[in-house]
Structure 1
């Protein structure tokens, strides 16, 4: 094994993997370096802006990290399996609720879906979880409340559950069609980091600190979550500083600030290619709202981007057959648009 590790080819592949893991930090560093080289004043302003906002967000960041680490260490994330037992309607309702509350990372959602479908769980319940899960989770709720506001965080949570129920019910109504009879592509298995908690449910230990292995899991998950959130927020705040400096506020207000159907539709469609990461998107949307973007459009952008972002869509395409992929995409866009419109109407009351 030592010989293999020392071989030049393995060293090169190890460096490549390390660079891939740290690509967000690298992107932030390159962006800052370019700013300091070509526009030193903006570079200093962007760095100060990012540091100031990270410090302001620190309490919410710490709480979100603790929530994610506690869920993993206690085994509470495995409770999601309980959402997939019972009558079809009940399964859809519980799956949407659990999707909105689940702390699964984005890398775990797709393998988890593959596991559920390969285990024979109805597509309607899986679709409900599938649509709700990327939109919100407990740590995302805390950060949304801190970066935007509490009302927006509650609206996003309700949107996640609502789009899950909507998608699950529509899928249930279409479940008799032959096109949806076999949702997975051939050769797709049930592996993956998120699938293990469904296939092999572990007992929940709320007082996890009494077991050394769970304490180690808490520390490992906490450090990993903190670094993950910190790097994305750092990049997002740097981008937000540039957006505030160079994006005309009157243009944002005129294009996306009216709160009408057209503005929310534009935000829904733009959310698909422009969305990078749920945590990175929050500061950007908060900045746009401060510049005049309507909150309904902001919600539509976040919901549509979370469910149908290009990386997620590519993964779904690799997992599901074309009719299922088309249904997933259509439900995501229609549901996101409806969530944005309903939230804006509620704000106008």
Structure 2
């Protein structure tokens, strides 16, 4: 543990930037080594075992994300925002749930869509559905906590998108929600460029060296991103299973009725770390007594309206639209948890 502390000090003194997730992992390991040294070995072993167990799904997620970027398949999302408003809402909800957009591209993409005059209703549908699930998230959800959760999250994403999209469409036709962007917003960024000049996908990407390079670069980047978050999540889960009493979890979000689902919906917003990190944590909570519906509500609510995402949304749109966004997220997540509990 002395070597870990010295390494952290050298990094801090040299001024080098270190990823905050890895800093957190190192800090947690250091704290375990100092205060409960007997737990250090079991926690590291648990983390490694869990990472190995989800490795096939992790690789599937990495390949899907890299393939989407190399082929340009993500440009197909442009088709969801052309045509009649009702059709646009339907398409936007489906594409939002299935699109492989990275988290850095969603917010600028929304700014680009709205600044280009795309109606708020389909944009809201896409906005609500997109953070909940994507192909890579589907694979990891299935491998981490089960195929039923993966399918449930997909259905919930589409359902929330449809609810928010059609409610917004009705409000817009009533004369509300005009000019949703804050003043000065509308650049569009990297996501906006794909919308303004969509190009057909190149399915045989391996024939072009630039696309092969992009596939490799995106694959490594995605693997490192997912790996660090999963490592942090499994490390936290190892501690949670030991030090969080199962009785406390069961009392808060276990048992029958709608109260645990309601609690999980509201707790999911501030407690959500990352969509990938949340998966093993929810799996551990379910093992300690959380009912499946509460787990689904937590995952969906955190994905749509986690604090980092909410802050970015707040900086982009006007307050009434932001408030509506939060209402959609909370109601949709709660309903998703209730329906999932009834079905499961």
**TM-score, structure 1 normalization:** 0.93
**Which residue does 1:256 correspond to in 2?**
253
SS, match of residue 260 in structure 1 = coil
Structure 1 unpaired stretches of 5+: 1-11
Aligned match for 1:291, one of 288, 291, 300: 288
**Which residue does 2:239 correspond to in 1?**
242
* Whole-angstrom CA distance in 2 between matches of 1:283 and 1:198: 34
Judge conservation of contact 2:293–2:340 (CA < 8 Å) in 1.
yes
Judge conservation of contact 1:100–1:161 (CA < 8 Å) in 2.
yes
**Which residue does 2:7 correspond to in 1?**
none
**Which residue does 1:219 correspond to in 2?**
216
**Which residue does 1:7 correspond to in 2?**
none
> Kindly tell me: are residues 72 and 36 of structure 1, through their superposed partners in 2, closer, same or farther at Cα, counting changes over 3 Å?
same
Aligned match for 2:119, one of 107, 118, 122: 122
**Which residue does 1:191 correspond to in 2?**
188
**Which residue does 1:165 correspond to in 2?**
162
C-alpha displacement at 1:259, in angstroms? 4.0
* Whole-angstrom CA distance in 1 between matches of 2:202 and 2:333: 36
**Which residue does 1:9 correspond to in 2?**
none
In the TM superposition, 1:1-349 aligns within 5 A as 15=15, 18-19=17-18, 22-347=19-344
* Whole-angstrom CA distance in 2 between matches of 1:229 and 1:154: 21
Judge conservation of contact 2:113–2:188 (CA < 8 Å) in 1.
no
- After TM superposition, the structure 1 stretch with the greater mean CA deviation from structure 2, 26-35 or 69-78, is 26-35
Judge conservation of contact 1:259–1:296 (CA < 8 Å) in 2.
no
SS, match of residue 180 in structure 1 = coil
> CA offsets, 1:121-151, max 9 Å, x none?
1100000000000000000000000000001
**TM-score, structure 2 normalization:** 0.94
C-alpha displacement at 1:239, in angstroms? 0.6
Judge conservation of contact 2:110–2:188 (CA < 8 Å) in 1.
no
Judge conservation of contact 2:249–2:289 (CA < 8 Å) in 1.
yes
* Whole-angstrom CA distance in 1 between matches of 2:157 and 2:286: 20
C-alpha displacement at 1:203, in angstroms? 2.1
> Kindly tell me: are residues 319 and 110 of structure 1, through their superposed partners in 2, closer, same or farther at Cα, counting changes over 3 Å?
same
Let me know the Cα RMSD of the aligned residues: 1.3
Q: How many residues align?
A: 332
> Kindly tell me: are residues 176 and 59 of structure 1, through their superposed partners in 2, closer, same or farther at Cα, counting changes over 3 Å?
same
* Whole-angstrom CA distance in 2 between matches of 1:189 and 1:172: 21
Judge conservation of contact 1:259–1:344 (CA < 8 Å) in 2.
no
* Whole-angstrom CA distance in 2 between matches of 1:67 and 1:259: 38
> Kindly tell me: are residues 207 and 15 of structure 1, through their superposed partners in 2, closer, same or farther at Cα, counting changes over 3 Å?
farther
* Whole-angstrom CA distance in 1 between matches of 2:72 and 2:285: 38
* Whole-angstrom CA distance in 2 between matches of 1:236 and 1:337: 24
* Whole-angstrom CA distance in 2 between matches of 1:276 and 1:196: 29
Judge conservation of contact 2:114–2:186 (CA < 8 Å) in 1.
no
C-alpha displacement at 1:195, in angstroms? 2.1
* Whole-angstrom CA distance in 2 between matches of 1:333 and 1:32: 35
* Whole-angstrom CA distance in 2 between matches of 1:60 and 1:74: 21
